[in-house]
Structure 1
Amino acid sequence: MDLVLGQFAEENIADLSDEQLDELEIIMDEEDQDLVQMVTGAQAIPEKFQTPLFMTIVSYRPDFDLVTAQNGHSPK
């Protein structure tokens, strides 16, 4: 989840309100395993995360080729 949240934050942090930044911090403090299960639908999304920001993160698709290239590997 760090790759997803990190890229999301990099691309969107300048446009987030103070309230959304606080919410993002709470989301980032959640256990990765729980976040993965919520994002994949394996676990219901708790009420505290049923927010527009969390739904935007759920629908976000990071560019994993960029991550691979930054780590010195060739994108597929």
Structure 2
Amino acid sequence: MKLNLFLVLVLVVMLLLVVMLLLVVMLLLVVMLLLVVLLVLLMVVVVILRVLALLLVLLVLLRALLIKQHLAMLDTEALYIIGDNW
């Protein structure tokens, strides 16, 4: 009877160890999944920031082009005024 009790105790302990091992593996899988989700979110944020930076650069270039065009128009008007005065 003592041998049976010992075997049952060993089986219960082994079963508990297996369950704990499975729980640890599942926890690691959940942590890895969360890390992958965070990595994907970080990549999306980086892409959005790159697009915003590109739009900002294009806006600055457009502003510079408009200022250059406006200054060219002012120069042309100044030439017309000088031409009229001569």
TM superposition score category, shorter chain reference: under 0.3
**What is the TM-score of this pair, normalised by structure 2?**
0.18
The structure, 1 or 2, with the larger RCO (C-alpha pairs under 8 Å, 6+ apart) is 1
Structure with the higher fraction of residues in helix conformation: 2
**What is the TM-score of this pair, normalised by structure 1?**
0.20
Larger Rg: 2
